[in-house]
Amino acid sequence: MKNIARTAALACSFLFLVESANAAVVLRKYEYFTLSGKTAADLDRELTRRGPQLHKTGPRHPGATQMRFNTQIKYGSDDKSCRVVESDITIHARVHLPRWKQRASAKPDLALIWDTLSQDIKRHEESHIVIARTAAFDMERALKALPWRSDCNAMKTDASLLMTKLMQKQDAAQIQFDRVEGKNFESRFERLLVFRIKRDLEKK
């Protein structure tokens, strides 16, 4: 399982597509790709062959999350000024996760390792969504706090520039999260594995 662990550390990655949006709500959709095999080598090979590919060229990954930010902004104006009166963001997240076909009939040690790994992959992808949702709340607040402008065209330009800046910040936070997760994967995975082994022993 060494190669599987290394692969999982690389890039349980994400795509962020910016559109226009509705109230820091997250709509999730889970999609699974099936792995078939009876050994660690089989699983490693299957992840390499069947894992999600984020671009037309490039490596495949143990898991991936694609997200689209939909933003809806309402403006209010009088004869002298325009402001943002409402901003709502909805995040559409499509999460790709692995599923092992022979899990039920697997040997206990391999099943334990796989369960630990697959759970960590899912946690990683869910963490990307948490980061995005936090960023969406910040975006909503920042849009509402924009200074009034003399007309709504100028206000819309300010909102567009602000969203571009905040999306870049959000993307940077996601990249940093992947970087930290990758560095800490081996020690984290070992702790998770030891915890599961102790828990299973206590149940006996």
Model pTM greater than 0.85? no
Tell me the three state secondary structure of residue 140. helix
pLDDT for res 56: 64
Q: For strand 64-77 and strand 13-18, is the pairing parallel, antiparallel, or unpaired?
A: parallel
Q: How far apart are CA 63 and CA 56, in angstroms?
A: 16
| 83-129 per-position pLDDT tens digit | 999 999 999 999 999 999 999 999 998 999 899 999 999 999 999 99
User: What percentage of the chain exceeds 70 in pLDDT?
Assistant: 85
Question: In this predicted model, what pLDDT tens digit does every residue of 39-49 receive, in sequence order?
Answer: 988 988 898 88
**What's phi and psi for 12, nearest 5 deg?**
-65, 85
Number of domains in the chain: 1
CA 131 from chain centre, in angstroms, equals 8
Q: Residue 10 is part of which domain span?
A: 2-203
Q: Is the pLDDT of residue 68 over 50?
A: yes
Q: What pLDDT does 174 receive? A: 93
User: Which pLDDT value is given to residue 78?
Assistant: 87
Q: How confident is the model at residue 62 (pLDDT cuts 50, 70, 90)?
A: confident
Contact 166, 142 (CB under 8 A): yes
Task: Give the distance from CA 86 to its chain's centroid.
Answer: 26
